[in-house]
Each structure stands twice: as structure tokens, then as C-alpha cells.
Structure 1
Amino acid sequence: MSKCDMAEIRFTYIRCKAIDASLINIPLCITKPISRNVTETSLHVRLARPVTNIVTRVRFMKKSSDYSLYFGENSYDACKFLDNRKIYPIADYLFNIIDDYTNLNHSCPYKGDIIIDRFRIRKDKLTWLPMPEGEYALFTSWNIDGKLRAELNFYFSYK
């Protein structure tokens, strides 16, 4: 197992799927290499109307021959979380990694554009992660008003 101060963590791919195109448009969804060990991920989600009832399902996956559930899965009320990030410690830990790169900085309702701009993994934001080297993914499903509206999957390597 690796310690984060020695580990190399690199996003390799992002897959975005707007299931309800009448509510969600995703004009930008990209991970691109900047240098040998550095990538930047950018995401732009456009909401057609204000949303308040958002539940996010997060599954932490590890690749063997295919991606399978590794750490488990959790569902989070996104609006409650954005009101008080401490109520979901795991989600807070993950959000802390991206919060310098996003405009997700207020409570619901959310409307218009949601942006993650040129996100790079910063080791100073990570603490020790008890996991072996390998290929991993965070699979996220976004339900708004009780219906699946989008899926965002983030793939990364940990060495």
C-alpha cells in the first residue's frame, strides 16, 4: 500500500452522460495530459432550470478484469451536504480535493452552469489512502426530483 506523499495519483479518463437532455447539457467533459504524470480534468454542466432535490450515488470501483465495487457505495443528499459538509465525512473528504477548482460553493438551489475547471490532483489535499496500487474509478449517478438525470464516472490510477 502507498502513502499519498509518495504515491502517484492521476486521472486517466472522465465519462459523462446526460440522461435527461431537457434538464442537463454537458458541453465539456475532458481529461487531458499536461505532462507525463499530470492531467487536468474539466467539466461543464448546464442546468435548464433551478434544481433543489438532488441525490448523488457514489460507488468506489477497482479494476481487475472489469470494474467492480471496491470500497462500497453511498448515497448523499447533495443539498443537505452543500448546506453542511460535515454531515457526510467521506463526501466532504472527496469534495475538499476539488473545491478550489469548482463553483459548487453554495447551498441549493443550483441553476445555470456548474463548472470544474482544470482540476489537478494536489497531494497536499490528500491524506494517507489505505489502498493498493491499481486502476480505480468513482462512478456517480445524479438523481434530481427522484429521477436519474446524469452519470459522471471518473477513472484514475494509483501507484
Structure 2
Amino acid sequence: MKHNYFLLLQLILFLHLFRRIASKVEFTNIKCTSLDKEFDDFEYCHLKSVNRSYKYFSLKANLYKIPITKVKVNIALLKRYSGYKPFLYNFTVDACKFLKNRKSNRVVAYFHDLFLAHSNMNHTCPFDHDLLVEKVSIDFINKQFTEVLPFPTGDYLFQSNWFAYDINRAEVNVYFTLS
């Protein structure tokens, strides 16, 4: 419980320090890696630029050993200095417990909200279907990173590791720039 309060305090401090920053988000890359091809694999994982103002990313993870009843996710936000270095957040959450009570951790809820409306990962465990994240637009992410929670300019990596039954099964890395 103290850990959640510490994260919330960090978030409030961060908002206070950087509240006047106006930025624009630009996706630069996405990499999806299955670490256990017998358990899961990515059917697709890509960025798409429809025109100069409409860009999005999508991914589909095929699950081969369903239903999945125990899921943890490690989320880290890294900023590029001389290589990518930890920036503000690096935590692991029991996804099944979190999805039962989204109010249990507001920081995790912020990151979950980045793709919630574009995903079929919006229910509690078990997961008995392939996982989709479809057309997360640059406009939506831009609003989240400039209005909801402003971040300073720079190159970032949103790194997530997906564990099922305490085994790391997949990694999804989204690279972006705030300018």
C-alpha cells in the first residue's frame, strides 16, 4: 500500500514540475517479440502512417495455451540519454487482480488507459482468446502525454514484459519522441 502512495506522490511531483510543457508525440518504432513460440506469437505488430496527421500502431498476439488465468505485466518507461535509461516508472502488476479493481492503482490505470479503448484486454482473467490492440492513434497518445500527464521532450521507450504463470512470454516495446 505504501508503494502505491509513493508512486502517486511521484506522479503529483512530476506533474507539478513539468505542468507547462507542451509537446507533440511521434511514434518511431514498435517491436513485439514472442519469448515462447509454443505459448504465443504475434500475427502482426506494426506502425501505420495513413497520412501526415493520422498514424497508429496495432498488434495481435495469438495465444496457443488458453485459458490463461495468471498474468503479470512489467511496465517500464525509459528515456534516451546515452542509451535508454529508467525514467520515472518501472513496476510489475498482477494483471488479473488489477482488472478486478482498476481503482487499486491509479498509475497502472493511467498506462492501461493508453490502450484500453483500442483493445480486447478489458476484462478480468481468464483470457481465452487472442489479444488485440487496434489502431492506437498518435492523436490519442499525444493527448495522454501532453494534457493528461505532461512529459518533457525527448526520446522514450515504453517497455512491457508479459508473464503468464510467472514465465516471461512476450515483450512489446513502443518507441516514441516528444518534441
The TM-score with structure 2 as length reference comes to 0.80
After the TM superposition, which residues 8-47 of structure 1 pair with which residues of structure 2 at under 5 Å, given as runs? 8-47=24-63
- What residue is the counterpart of 1:141 in the other structure? 161
> Structure 2: 5+ residue runs without aligned partners?
1-17
Q: Deviations over 1:17-63 (max 9, x none)?
A: 10111111111100122233442100101111211111111111001
Q: Secondary structure at the match of 1:118?
A: strand
2:102 equivalent to 1:88: no
Q: Secondary structure at the match of 1:112?
A: coil
Q: Which runs of 4+ in 1 moved over 6 A?
A: none
- What residue is the counterpart of 2:73 in the other structure? 56
What percent identity do the matched residue pairs reach? Answer: 28
Q: Secondary structure at the match of 1:51?
A: coil
Partners of 1:39 and 1:124 lie apart in 2 by 14
> Structure 1: 5+ residue runs without aligned partners?
none
Indicate how the Cα distance of structure 1 residues 131 and 32 shifts in structure 2: closer, same or farther if over 3 A, else same.
same
- What residue is the counterpart of 1:157 in the other structure? 177
Which is greater in Rg?
2
Shift of 1:128: 4.2
Q: Which amino acid aligns with 1:35?
A: N
Shift of 1:124: 4.7
Q: Deviations over 1:58-85 (max 9, x none)?
A: 1110012211111131000011111111
Question: Which residue, 3, 7, 29 being the options, matches 2:23?
Answer: 7
2:152 equivalent to 1:132: yes
Indicate how the Cα distance of structure 1 residues 31 and 3 shifts in structure 2: closer, same or farther if over 3 A, else same.
farther
The TM-score with structure 1 as length reference comes to 0.90
Q: Secondary structure at the match of 1:138?
A: strand
Query: Could you tell me whether the CA contact under 8 Å between 1:61 and 1:136 is conserved in 2?
Result: yes
Q: Which amino acid aligns with 2:151?
A: M
Query: Could you tell me whether the CA contact under 8 Å between 2:23 and 2:152 is conserved in 1?
Result: no
- What residue is the counterpart of 2:129 in the other structure? 112
Q: Secondary structure at the match of 2:23?
A: coil
2:91 equivalent to 1:74: yes
Moved more, 89-98 or 20-29: 89-98
